């Protein structure tokens, strides 16, 4: 992990209740996020549809 980067968390919309961590999975998603960030995009969300595919949602840049 990049020492200058804070861990980020993504939550389900409209979810309320208590949560607990501790279930870790190995993934190369960090490589996909780094590749997008090198192009200037910022990942602001992740959509999970129950398959092995994740949808990385990026910020829409403000137009000047």
Quote the pLDDT of residue 38: 96
Contact (Cβ atoms closer than 8 angstroms) between residue 56 and residue 48? no
Instruction: Say yes or no to pLDDT of 1 above 70.
Output: no
- Tell me the average pLDDT across 1-15: 73
For the chain, give the mean pLDDT: 85
pLDDT in tens, 24-53: 888 899 999 999 999 999 988 888 888 888
Whole-angstrom Cα distance, residue 57 to residue 7?
Answer: 17
């Amino acid at each position: 992990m990049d020492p200058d980067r804070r861990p980020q968390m993504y939550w389900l919309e409209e979810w309320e209740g208590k949560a607990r961590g501790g279930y870790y999975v190995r993934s190369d998603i960090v490589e996909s996020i780094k590749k997008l960030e090198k192009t200037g995009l910022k990942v602001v969300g992740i959509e999970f549809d129950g398959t092995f595919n994740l949808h990385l949602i990026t910020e829409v840049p403000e137009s000047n």
